[in-house]
Amino acid sequence: MDGSKPVEDKFTRTTTVQETAVTSDAAIAPRGLPKLDTSPLHGLWALTLRDLRKWYTNPYQLLISLIQPIVWLGIFGKALNFSSFIPSAEVQSIFGTSSYFSFLSVGMLASIILFTAAFSGMSVVFDRRFGFLNKALSTPVSRGVIVTSKVLQSGIRSLIQSVMVLAIAVVLGMDVSHFSALGIVGAFTLLFLMGFALSSLFVTLALKSSNWQTQMAIINLLNLPLLFASNALFPVKIMPTWLQYVVKFNPISYAIDGARQLLLGSPGTNSLLVDFGVITAFAVVLTGVGIVMSWKLLSK
């Protein structure tokens, strides 16, 4: 009949009540927490970016780091004008390029990477003193990632600074006749591997240190001997015999030798394959040592 009420059966009424209850529970239930990203790459980039941000937001630090290579290039490189008293043919034979300034310019690329890498360990010391290291160790990020982030940010910093030094050297008169895109990429690959290896060394030496004075003493002990016992400032052939053997055991010399071949077209002491092989092995070994030592030495 038209005026009669609709008939509700027991099954329909029960189902409606149950659906309403489920809907209400879903509405008031708290949302689940966001999934925590504990992947190694996430932690590595977050820690690396933290250190890089401290660097690029402080332009004075960047400016000061560029002063030394500029002084070396502008004063030392230009003052030692060997072309004024040595025939140009002999200059080419001794330095493998048309001028000592071009020879020194590549050495300064390695120099700024060496000095930047040397101070990479200071970041570990200050993070320990100011308590950030304890916080990082309390997170799911592994100790190896913490060390690798310090090494990676130092390698990126040194690479950017070396590009700036190369631009300054070109402005001051560096020979660019042998420049090529492939050569520049290859040279900076060698320099980056060198910086990565040296940063691994200095970060490893700082793992248990909480005294910045101790770390500064280590930097002063290793920095200048590594620079002067290499082919950064002078060619190996004019060095004393005993020093030539020392230079051969200095991995920095292989990075500089390869960079000069790629940027200046110099003959080179070794083949590019040897230079890349030595510096790659140097980087892999020191990075591996740093990660292993972090498992043992890095603690709260």
pLDDT tens for 123-143 read: 888 888 888 888 888 877 888
How much is the pLDDT for 247?
A: 93
Q: Lowest mean pLDDT of 48-62, 78-92, 229-243, name the range.
A: 78-92
Rounded Cα gap, residues 35 and 123, in angstroms:
30
- 293 part of a folded domain: yes
Does some domain include residue 4? no
pLDDT of 73: 80
Does 97 map to a domain? Answer: yes
In a domain, 10, yes or no: no
* Domain count for the chain: 1
- CA-CA distance, 100 to 57, in Å (whole number)? 36
pLDDT at 2 exceeding the cut of 70? no
Within-domain flag for 13: no
| pLDDT per position as a tens digit, 289-299 | 888 888 777 66
- Residue 244 belongs to domain spanning: 39-297
> Which range has the worst mean pLDDT, 27-31, 192-196, 207-211, 274-278?
27-31
Residue ranges in the chain assigned as alpha helix (H):
10-28, 40-56, 59-71, 78-79, 88-95, 100-118, 120-129, 132-137, 143-172, 181-205, 212-228, 241-248, 251-264, 272-297
Q: Which letter does DSSP use for residue 31 in this model?
A: P
- The reported pLDDT for the residue numbered 32 is 53
Residue 61 has pLDDT above 60, yes or no: yes
- Contact at 8 Å (CB) between 12 and 113? no
Residue 96, C-beta contacts closer than 8 angstroms, at least 6 positions apart = 103, 235, 260, 264, 266, 267, 268
- Contact of 104 with 197, CB cutoff 8 Å: no
- How many angstroms separate the CA atoms of 27 and 47, rounded? 38
The pTM of the full predicted model, rounded to 2 decimals, is 0.80
Residue 16 resides in a domain = no
Interval 26-53: pLDDT, tens: 444 455 555 656 566 667 888 888 888 8
Specify whether the CB–CB gap between 193 and 152 falls below 8 A: no
